[in-house]
A and B are shown apart, each in its own frame.
Chain A
Amino acid sequence: GNSVTQMEGPVTLSEEAFLTINCTYTATGYPSLFWYVQYPGEGLQLLLKATKADDKGSNKGFEATYRKETTSFHLEKGSVQVSDSAVYFCALCTGNQFYFGTGTSLTVIP
Chain B
Amino acid sequence: NAGVTQTPKFRVLKTGQSMTLLCAQDMNHEYMYWYRQDPGMGLRLIHYSVGEGTTAKGEVPDGYNVSRLKKQNFLLGLESAAPSQTSVYFCASSRPRQNRNQPQHFGDGTRLSIL
Chain A partners chain B: no
Q: Give A contacts to B, CB under 8 Å.
A: none
Q: Give B contacts to A, CB under 8 Å.
A: none
